[in-house]
Structure 1
Amino acid sequence: MKFFRSLLAKYMLIIFLAISIVQLSYFAIAAFMFGIGKTDFSSEVLMESEVEEKWLEEAKSIKNFTEETIAQHFKEWKDQYPKSSMFWVSEDGTLLTTLNVTEQLPLKWTPAFTTKFIKDHYGEDPFTVIAFLGQDESNGFIVFEIPREVFNPPLKNVYEQYGPIILFGVIAIILFFIVVSFLFFRGIRKRLLHLQEAMEIRDVDGLPIATKVKKKDEIGQLEHSFNRMVCELRESKDREQKEEQLRRELIANLSHDLRTPLTKIRAQSYSISKETLSEDGKQAIKAMETSIVNIDALIENLMSYTLLTASKYKFEPKDINVIRFVREQLTTWYPVFEKEGFEIDIELHPFEKNEWQVDSIWLGRIFDNLFQNILRHANSGKYIGVETESTEHYDAFIIKDYGKGMKNESDAKGAGIGLSIVDIMVKGMDLNWDIESSESGTKIKIKHYK
């Protein structure tokens, strides 16, 4: 049963029907052509030599040369060959008995006309046989004429008479097969295109839409497999979303739980720093406070990254003067870099249009993360440069350092999350950014296209 529902079985059925129709058409044509009494399948094909030999022999066998005898002889041949015509010319050249003669013949035949008649009819149409009566050539002669078409094979006569009809029938059969094949393959193509469209169209969850299975052939099995794949993808995505939700909740809860003891450690380290300590103790307290700050920053980045990936981080874009905003950011960071002994190079020039539609909190977080990374990873270069750049296509802020590059191993951890946050926030505000990093330093360019 599975085979009979397949496309192969359907196409084999089309081929079988085409062959059957061709054969039935030939039988129908044959029945029409030969079954109406015009020609018989069983009739033998006439041979010119046989007819000629028979006419000559029977002419020699005639003994009584009267008009009645000749007329009876003509009648017998007429019954056998309905399309034939015959006439008798006596020994003195007189035209006597005629049967079914349509051409104009003279009543008196001269030797010259007889010679011309023989010359004109030799090898021409109709086929002509001249025979002398009896055993004596002085008894005159009888003439037998018949169209040459009667000597043609039956099929040749059929094609000569009904050729256009047969040709039209063959063309009609071929066209019928072409149309049926076209409809068959067009149906296959239409179903494949429908399946392709279902693969390309996405539902609200970003997954393909299941297609309707109408038949149980190979394409139907493919559609069924596609629907099963879509179902499995949707189940997998649901599991992934649930796992992602659990992960985010775990990170959020963990971040909240870590901050409580971290606050207590910070308070205790502050209390210890008020006591009288040795130089080693003071250095230990200072290192602990630095670690507390770093851990707090890591927790903050982890929390922010979780909220950003969940699209739950508050985003309120508005037009702000970015030149003034970056100057204010640098004002808060200037003492920090100066304390660390950095060479600070700031060169901010106004843009043609200073207002960008951005979220000030997001933009501030971007610069904070980038400056923090320079402090952690490019401290050895002791340099930070912030400048502006304007081109025909974009305005940009450029942040440079002379550190060992991003490929260099650093003792500080968490820079990956910080840059991931920068990437999400930059793209979320329809900005762009480039990073060029080598062993001689790093240059980050934040672009706003015009």
Structure 2
Amino acid sequence: MSRLFRSLQAKYMLIIFVGLVLIQFTYITLSLVLTIGINFRREAADGMPSAQQIEKDWHEAAGSLTEVTRESVLELFREWKTRYPEASMFWVDEQGDLAVELDASESLPTSWSASYTAAFIKERYGGDPFTVIAFAGDEGGSGFVVFEIDRRFFLSDYALLYEEYAEWIFAALILIILLFILISYMFFRGIRKRLVQLQEAMSIRDVDGLPVPIDVRKQDEIGQLEQSFNEMIEELKESKRREQEEEQLRRELIANLSHDLRTPLTKIRAQAFTINKENLSAEGRRAIEAMESSVVSMDRLIDNLMAYTLLMANKYQYAPRSTDVLRFVREHLATWYPLFEREGFEVDVDLAPLRVSHWEIDPIWMGRVLDNLFQNVLRHAKQGRFVRVSTETTSAYDALVIADRGPGMGSGSSEEKGAGIGLSIVDRMLLGMNLHWDVHSDVSGTVVQIKRIYDLDDLPPASRSH
């Protein structure tokens, strides 16, 4: 039950309920207060006669005048004025002249013709003010007397309340509605503010790249969402910690396996060398050569695996220095030339000058990049028997280009398969040296570009205009 009362739905329903009660309370209170005020001003309202009674009494009073004179008519008017202070009265004598008037509500003509009198009676019949016309005297030959009073005099207290104070009541109700709207706005504004804070917390990351926890201040639906968000962060942190531990164990396992596998490989290579000295048949020598080739390949794979593990752990030493990249490529290619020649490759070298000949690279890293790319050509492009090492210069970059005429990386016709660790090492090492690389491969061959992309400030003054 307590959880229900803490919910946003219950809070908003409470706001609606309080708003409705407040409107009704205000309406009733205003009605009572204003009614009391009206009754206070009309203390004698309970004894007030009806319109029919006033009309009857006025006729009787006018007909009871035995002598119709100015003084007797004034006396009658004053008596009725005492009873009905809001009323107005006047007497038109038998000659049609306005003889007496008392608090007339409008300007009356001094002379009344028959047509004007008929028009006056027609206008006042059933209209406002309430008008009673009676002959003066019992004979009816002394003119007529008129009694007028505002029809509001006959309205009930509540009718007067609505008529006289409707604007105040309406203003009070509008005020209550505006207050309800304001409270609702503040309620939803608070909800939106908390949701925005939650959204901002989701976008902020700590040093591990995880969202930061958020303070839980209320136990409503949003508070439960915030609590779930914090629990998710804790689960992510725990998962991250386990992942790091597993990654560390995996790296240690790979390092240990790499070290342990090198020892038997060295023994296998030594035994193969010893066997090769014996008097073997041609088939036996081919088997020994295949075994030595497999040992070399396995040693290279172990070396790549070890290097990749160190790179992923950011423990592979990086020592960049300014290096003449063309000279470096020539010297490194010279170590691979015998291997290409043994496999029957045509080697085409076209290293034209670059716009900037010295690159800030780590020679060991760059050497491993070239080794992996050349090894990839030997493994997967034997059918083409061709490799080209050249340079390319544009307005935006300098590039080293290694091209072959193999079946392409996606053809699946290579005689050797691998897990792609060598190219992964190339990617991470080039990225670490702020170099880019592009690979274009199809059935006609593969082209690898190692690019150094320049900003204008990187170029020497003589090269900026090209």
1:19 counterpart residue number: 20
1:334 is aligned, of 333, 337, 348, to: 337
Q: Identical aligned pairs, as a percentage?
A: 52
Deviates more, 1:81-90 or 1:237-246: 81-90
1:316 is aligned, of 315, 319, 327, to: 319
Partner Cα distance (2:302, 2:42) in 1? 105
Partner Cα distance (1:118, 1:181) in 2? 63
- Say if 1:133 and 1:307 are closer, same or farther in 2 by CA, change over 3 A: same
2:464 counterpart residue number: none
1:421 is aligned, of 425, 450, 453, to: 425
User: In 2, are the aligned partners of 1:381 and 1:402 still within 8 Å (CA)?
Assistant: yes
How far is 1:232 from its partner?
0.9
State yes or no: 1:266 paired with 2:269: yes
Partner Cα distance (2:356, 2:54) in 1? 115
How far is 1:273 from its partner?
2.1
What SS does the corresponding residue of 1:381 show, helix, strand or coil? coil
- Say if 1:172 and 1:273 are closer, same or farther in 2 by CA, change over 3 A: same
Normalising by the residue count of structure 2, what TM-score does the alignment of the two structures yield? 0.85
Deviates more, 1:385-394 or 1:87-96: 87-96
Partner Cα distance (1:328, 1:429) in 2? 20
How far is 1:410 from its partner?
3.5
How far is 1:27 from its partner?
2.1
Partner Cα distance (2:431, 2:50) in 1? 100
How far is 1:230 from its partner?
0.9
Give RMSD over aligned pairs. 3.2
Partner Cα distance (1:118, 1:33) in 2? 41
Partner Cα distance (2:168, 2:132) in 1? 35
Partner Cα distance (1:311, 1:219) in 2? 41
Unaligned 5+ runs, structure 2: 455-466
Partner Cα distance (2:346, 2:361) in 1? 30
Paired residues in the alignment total: 446
Partner Cα distance (2:30, 2:342) in 1? 109
Partner Cα distance (2:106, 2:217) in 1? 75
Matches within 5 A, 1:336-355: 336-355=339-358
Partner Cα distance (1:415, 1:375) in 2? 16
- Say if 1:245 and 1:50 are closer, same or farther in 2 by CA, change over 3 A: same
Partner Cα distance (1:310, 1:316) in 2? 17
Cα deviation per residue 1:286-320 (whole Å; 9 max; x = unaligned)?
A: 11211111111010001011111111111122322
Amino acid in structure 1 at the alignment position of 2:34: M
Normalising by the residue count of structure 1, what TM-score does the alignment of the two structures yield? 0.88
- Say if 1:262 and 1:36 are closer, same or farther in 2 by CA, change over 3 A: same
Deviates more, 1:154-163 or 1:75-84: 154-163
User: In 2, are the aligned partners of 1:128 and 1:143 still within 8 Å (CA)?
Assistant: yes
Unaligned 5+ runs, structure 1: none
Partner Cα distance (2:45, 2:368) in 1? 107
Partner Cα distance (1:322, 1:235) in 2? 46
- Say if 1:426 and 1:51 are closer, same or farther in 2 by CA, change over 3 A: farther
How far is 1:259 from its partner?
0.7
How far is 1:437 from its partner?
1.8
- Say if 1:136 and 1:405 are closer, same or farther in 2 by CA, change over 3 A: same
2:452 counterpart residue number: 448
What SS does the corresponding residue of 1:138 show, helix, strand or coil? coil
Deviates more, 1:146-155 or 1:259-268: 146-155
How far is 1:359 from its partner?
1.8
User: In 1, are the aligned partners of 2:381 and 2:414 still within 8 Å (CA)?
Assistant: no
2:196 counterpart residue number: 193
Amino acid in structure 2 at the alignment position of 1:441: G
Amino acid in structure 2 at the alignment position of 1:54: K
User: In 2, are the aligned partners of 1:382 and 1:402 still within 8 Å (CA)?
Assistant: yes
User: In 1, are the aligned partners of 2:351 and 2:391 still within 8 Å (CA)?
Assistant: yes
Cα deviation per residue 1:246-291 (whole Å; 9 max; x = unaligned)?
A: 1110000000011112112222222222233222222222112111
Matches within 5 A, 1:196-215: 196-215=199-218
What SS does the corresponding residue of 2:217 show, helix, strand or coil? coil
Amino acid in structure 1 at the alignment position of 2:141: S
Matches within 5 A, 1:205-244: 205-244=208-247
How far is 1:327 from its partner?
1.4
Partner Cα distance (1:375, 1:314) in 2? 28
User: In 2, are the aligned partners of 1:34 and 1:40 still within 8 Å (CA)?
Assistant: no
Partner Cα distance (1:142, 1:227) in 2? 92
